[in-house]
Amino acid sequence: MASDQENSQDANAPDDTSEKEITRGITIMKSIIRDRDKAVTYNVNWNADNQLIGSNAAKLASYIGTLVRMHIPITATRWSNKELGSAKDKIWTKILRSFNIEDTTIRKKYILQLAGKRHRGWRTFLTNKYLKDKENFFVEYDPEYPVKYAIFITEEEWVAFVAQRRDENFKKVSATNRERASNPTYAYKKGRLGYARLEEKILDETKSDATSLPPHVLWKEARVGKDGTVRDDVQHIYDECETLSQSISTAEDQENRSVLSRALNVPEYPGRVRGKGHGCTPTSLYKNPRRRNPSNQEVMETLQALQAQVLQLQKDNERYRCMEKCSSQLKETSEKASINCQNKFPEGISSCQLYLSSPTYRLVGKGKVHNTSGDLLHHRPLPDGHLKVSVDVVLDKDALLPIPDIVSETTFLRDAIGSFVAWPLDLIFIDDEVFAQGSQQLSQKIGSRQKNKRDLPVTSLPKKGAFVPRYQISLETLVDSSDMATAGAIRLLDMEEDIFGYSCTETIGKEDLEHIFRHQELGVGVIHTYIRFLYDNFMRGNDQLSNRFRFVSSSLVNKALICREPDSCREYLVKRFMASSTNNLYLWPYNSGCHWLLLAIDPLKEVVYFLNSIDGEWTNYPDMKQLVDTSIKVFRSQRQARVPRTKSSNITWIKVQCPLQRNGIDCGYFVMRFMREIISMNQIEIPITYFDEYKCAHYTRLQLEQIKEELCQYFIEKRLII
Task: Tell me the per-residue pLDDT of 627-677, one tens digit each, with 9 for 90 and over.
Answer: 999 999 999 888 876 655 545 457 899 999 999 998 888 999 999 999 999
Q: What is the predicted pLDDT for the residue at 343?
A: 53
Give the list of residues 6+ apart from residue 132 with CB closer than 8 angstroms, or none: 138, 139
Phi-psi domain of 406 (left: phi exceeds 0; alpha: psi -120 through 50; beta: other):
alpha
Contact 546, 530 (CB under 8 A): no
Contact 126, 161 (CB under 8 A): yes
Range scoring the smallest mean pLDDT among 41-50, 183-192, 566-575:
183-192
Does the structure show a pLDDT above 60 at 432?
no
Confidence bin at 457 (pLDDT 50/70/90): very low
Q: What is the predicted pLDDT for the residue at 679?
A: 92
CA distances for 576 relative to 552, 570, 588, angstroms: 8, 10, 11
Contact 665, 521 (CB under 8 A): yes
What's the CA gap between 493 and 507, in Å, rounded?
6
Q: What is the predicted pLDDT for the residue at 56?
A: 85
> What is the SS3 assignment for 599?
strand
Task: State how far Cα 507 lies from the chain centre.
Answer: 25
Closest CA to 665 of 516, 521, 512: 521
Range scoring the smallest mean pLDDT among 117-121, 163-167, 359-363, 589-593:
359-363
Residue 40 burial (CB count, 10 A)? 11
508-511 long-range contacts, CB within 8 A, separation 24+: 508/720, 510/479, 510/484, 510/485, 510/486
Does the structure show a pLDDT above 90 at 600?
yes
* Percentage above 70 pLDDT, the chain: 80
Contact 579, 501 (CB under 8 A): yes
Instruction: Tell me whether residue 196 is exposed, middle or buried, using C-beta atoms within 10 angstroms of its C-beta: 0 to 12, 13 to 18, 19 or more.
Output: buried
Range scoring the smallest mean pLDDT among 240-254, 330-344, 563-577, 704-718:
330-344
Contact 26, 149 (CB under 8 A): yes
More confident residue, 409 or 600: 600
Confidence bin at 245 (pLDDT 50/70/90): confident
pTM above 0.85, yes or no: no
Taking only the tens place, the pLDDT of each residue in 32-63 is: 888 887 888 888 888 877 788 888 888 888 88
Q: What is the predicted pLDDT for the residue at 616?
A: 84
Taking only the tens place, the pLDDT of each residue in 112-146 is: 988 888 888 888 888 888 888 887 778 888 888 88
Contact 479, 485 (CB under 8 A): yes
